[in-house]
Amino acid sequence: MIREALDLVMDNIQIYRMLDAGPVREQLVKSLGGLLLEFGGLVIVLALCMGVFMYFMRQTIIVMSRLIEYDLRKLIFQKFESLSVEFYKRSNTGDLMARISEDVSKVRMYIGPAILYGINLVSLFILAISSMVNVSLELTLYALAPLPFLSISIYYVSSLINKKSTKIQKQLGYLNTIVQEVFSGIRVVKSYTQEAAIGGNFEVQSEDYKQKSMELARVNAFFYPLMLLLVGASTIITVFMGGRMVLEGKISPGNIAEFVIYVNMLTWPVTAIGWVASIIQQAAVSQRRINEILLEEPSIQEIKEPYRAPIQGDISFENVSFVYPDSGIEALKGVDFELKAGQKMAIIGRTGGGKTTIAELLLRNYDVQSGRIRIDGVDIKDFSTQHLRSALGYVPQDSFLFSDTISANVAFGNPDASQKEIEQYCQYAAIHQDILELPEGYDTVVGERGVTLSGGQKQRISIARALIKRPKLVILDDCLSAVDTKTEQSILGFFESEFAGKTTIIITHRIYNLLEFDHILVLDDGRIVESGKHAELLAQGGYYAELFQKQSLEKEAE
Ligand SMILES: Nc1ncnc2c1ncn2[C@@H]1O[C@H](COP(=O)(O)OP(=O)(O)O)[C@@H](O)[C@H]1O
Ligand SMILES: [Mg+2]
């Protein structure tokens, strides 16, 4: 269009010069003006068409890439949820977060923009270069000569930019970790008056971040001028060589104009080659990291046809030995015991004795290496983990509450529970009164965004959360340690009344004389060293008897 318009003007200018002023010349100017206006209108219409199609192309491809990103992220999250506790023990949280956020974004950049510009590039290349070759192969070669340099240097510069950005990302991640640690450990930092030392470290790391960012800014500053330089060179060569060819009569001046436009049209795709290549490289690395997660097998395998009967609560450990896969520590050695549905058992013993490990194995967070754990006579591996865990009410040693209201935290155990039930269970867990004293009662937000509760309060809320599930089997892992004796007795009273029919395992290092335990295990270094009922154990005069005596003395002292 532009070539035709320009050639038309050039030809007519010569005619115009030959004519004298008069009606013919006026007529020529008028008709030429009309024609040029038509050309102008056509160019605008074509530009609008280009815009419309560009819009649809972006809509199709970018929207598609967002949908794939969404699916991929969902898939990874589901995978994360299916992986076992053991996986999280050996993985770094920051790294896992990066895989579901940054890596997914990088893959999206590939399936979105990289493919978009790739298609754009190929089609523009074919169209523009074939039109150029049609006019003159020689001029085409001249005009395109600087473009490979453009691609290569942009590739080089973008790789450099990516490398520097990755370093900056990492440093930023490190800065975030420092800040997060200081926030969560602020009490320790303050009580050891370490503000200055930590501030100093933060400053050093921030300085490093600044240096790296400035390096990136310097490289970035090269990008645009480099592109302009090479495009400019291409335009100058086209005009110079094209001019000579016009003089030789090989092409028309309109061809030069059209070439300059082609060169400009090709600039962006040629720049994009380098950019796209570096996105593809990064996406490949990211996809590999994502695949590592997607291909990770949960260490707890679900059985194909699980046993479905409702769980009653008989438990038996048959010669169970267990070694933690990551540390190689043998936490249980030939543990053997049996507990009938509805019975109460206490496990006591020194720290590191293997008490928590028994709970972890019952929950099937790990699989035993030798021996067998049965519930209702069925190997726990024959239940689905879903079925098994829904029958278990577990209160872990370190209570974790979500940053949400107290009601929501308790209802986590049973989302259908009414407010009345929630309050009922909080009464059982002897926390109701404490909650009412909080500024917004049950609607008080706890944790990061809200009030800080004491250790004992948190323990009791997590007890309420576990009990509201109405599980068949309750395991309390040392979760009365931060509770005073009176409160403790009121909670244990509940187990004797409301929860009398449930199998209960209480892990502790205090001896309760309130509960008539059916079974007491003393664990030491992964072995059962004493077992039996309270009276039997006292008669044995071992660890249990010693502990009981010590605690009785303490009680008298109170
Ligand atoms: N997740 C784990 N990974 C590796 N070793 C562990 C893990 N948890 C506990 N251990 C080790 O297993 C042993 C028993 O721990 P645990 O069952 O927590 O004892 P207790 O609850 O009686 O204090 C300890 O030596 C401890 O270091
Ligand atoms: Mg423990």
Q: What is the pLDDT along the chain (558 residues), one digit of tens a residue?
A: 888 888 888 888 888 888 887 888 888 888 888 888 888 899 899 999 999 998 998 888 889 999 999 999 999 999 999 998 889 888 877 788 888 988 899 899 898 888 888 888 888 889 989 999 998 899 999 988 887 887 788 788 878 888 888 888 788 878 887 887 888 788 899 999 989 998 999 999 999 999 998 998 888 787 778 778 878 888 899 999 999 999 998 888 888 988 888 888 887 777 777 778 878 888 888 899 899 999 998 888 888 888 888 998 899 999 999 999 888 899 999 999 999 998 889 999 888 889 999 999 999 999 999 999 999 999 999 999 999 999 999 999 888 899 899 999 999 999 998 999 999 999 988 899 989 998 889 999 987 767 788 888 898 999 999 999 989 999 999 887 777 778 888 888 888 787 888 899 999 877 766 567 889 999 999 999 988 888 888 888 888 888 888 887 877 766
Domain boundary among 470, 497, 514: 470
The DSSP code for 536 is: H
Which residue's CA is the closest to the ligand 1 atom numbered 18?
Answer: 356
Are 489 and 345 within one domain?
yes
Distance 327 CA to ligand 1 centre (A): 9
450 CB-near residues (< 8 Å, 6+ apart): 403, 444
Are 271 and 403 within one domain?
no
Domain of residue 114, residue span: 84-294
Are 206 and 290 within one domain?
yes
One-letter amino acid for residue 552 of the chain: S
Does 14 contact ligand 1 (Cβ within 6 A)?
A: no
Does 487 contact ligand 1 (Cβ within 6 A)?
A: no
The answer as to whether 268 is a domain residue is yes
Are 338 and 203 within one domain?
no
Distance 353 CA to ligand 1 centre (A): 8
Per-residue 3-state assignment (H helix, E strand, C coil) for 162-227 = HHHHHHHHHHHHHHHHHHHHHHHCHHHHHHCCCHHHHHHHHHHHHHHHHHHHHHHHHHHHHHHHHH
* Ligand number nearest to the C-alpha of 358: 1
**How many CB atoms within 10 Å of residue 328?**
7
One-letter amino acid for residue 137 of the chain: L
- Pairwise CA distance, residues 441 & 407, whole Å: 9
Residue 204 is predicted with a pLDDT of 94
Whether 449 and 368 have beta carbons less than 8 Å apart is answered as no
**How many CB atoms within 10 Å of residue 459?**
26
Distance 478 CA to ligand 2 centre (A): 7
The answer as to whether 428 is a domain residue is yes
Domain count, the chain: 3
Contacts 24+ apart (CB under 8 A), 544-550: 544/348, 544/511, 544/520, 547/348, 547/509, 547/511, 548/511
Residue 515 is predicted with a pLDDT of 60
Given phi > 0 = left and psi -120 to 50 = alpha, else beta, which region is 525?
left
- Pairwise CA distance, residues 283 & 274, whole Å: 14
The answer as to whether 11 is a domain residue is no
The answer as to whether 19 is a domain residue is no
Are 230 and 183 within one domain?
yes
Are 357 and 488 within one domain?
yes
Are 254 and 276 within one domain?
yes
Domain boundary among 451, 470, 489: 470
Distance 367 CA to ligand 1 centre (A): 15
Calculate the alpha carbon distances from 30 to 7, 12, 33 in Å.
Answer: 17, 12, 5
Copy the structure tokens of residue 529.
């060293």
Copy the structure tokens of residue 369.
């290496």
Q: What is the CATH number of the domain that holds 345?
A: 3.40.50.300
Which residue's CA is the closest to the ligand 1 atom numbered 25?
Answer: 352
The answer as to whether 455 is a domain residue is yes
Does 328 contact ligand 1 (Cβ within 6 A)?
A: no
- The number of the ligand 1 atom at minimal distance from the alpha carbon of 350 is 22
Distance 516 CA to ligand 2 centre (A): 23
Does 351 contact ligand 1 (Cβ within 6 A)?
A: yes
Name the 3-class secondary structure at 519.
Answer: strand
One-letter amino acid for residue 227 of the chain: M
Residue 558 is predicted with a pLDDT of 63
Are 97 and 146 within one domain?
yes
Does 355 contact ligand 1 (Cβ within 6 A)?
A: yes
Angle, helices 147-184/195-247, rounded to nearest 10 degrees: 170
Does 271 contact ligand 1 (Cβ within 6 A)?
A: no
The answer as to whether 334 is a domain residue is yes
- The number of the ligand 1 atom at minimal distance from the alpha carbon of 523 is 22
- Pairwise CA distance, residues 490 & 429, whole Å: 8
Helix%, strand%, coil% for the chain, nearest 5 = 65, 10, 25
* Residue in this structure with the two tokens 């599930």, named with its chain if needed: 469
Distance 525 CA to ligand 1 centre (A): 10
Tell me which residues have their CB within 5 A of the ion that is ligand 2.
Answer: 355-356, 397
Residue 513 is predicted with a pLDDT of 62
Whether 339 and 314 have beta carbons less than 8 Å apart is answered as yes
Calculate the alpha carbon distances from 321 to 33, 349, 364 in Å.
Answer: 96, 17, 14
Copy the structure tokens of residue 373.
């754990």
Are 326 and 408 within one domain?
no
Does 329 contact ligand 1 (Cβ within 6 A)?
A: yes
Domain boundary among 421, 447, 470: 470
Residues forming a β-bridge with 378: 375
- The number of the ligand 1 atom at minimal distance from the alpha carbon of 357 is 17
Which of 327, 476, 479 has the most ligand 1 atoms within 8 A of CB, as the residue to mutate?
327
Distance 365 CA to ligand 2 centre (A): 15
> Does the global pTM surpass 0.85?
no
Are 154 and 188 within one domain?
yes
Residue 263 is predicted with a pLDDT of 86
Are 208 and 159 within one domain?
yes
Does 93 contact ligand 1 (Cβ within 6 A)?
A: no
The answer as to whether 36 is a domain residue is no
Backbone angles phi, psi at 475, to 5 degrees: -125, 120
Q: What is the CATH number of the domain that holds 91?
A: 1.20.1560.10
Are 486 and 549 within one domain?
yes
Residue 490 is predicted with a pLDDT of 83
The answer as to whether 101 is a domain residue is yes
Whether 381 and 369 have beta carbons less than 8 Å apart is answered as no
One-letter amino acid for residue 62 of the chain: I
Q: Write out the E strands in 197-340.
A: 315-323, 330-339
Backbone angles phi, psi at 338, to 5 degrees: -140, 145
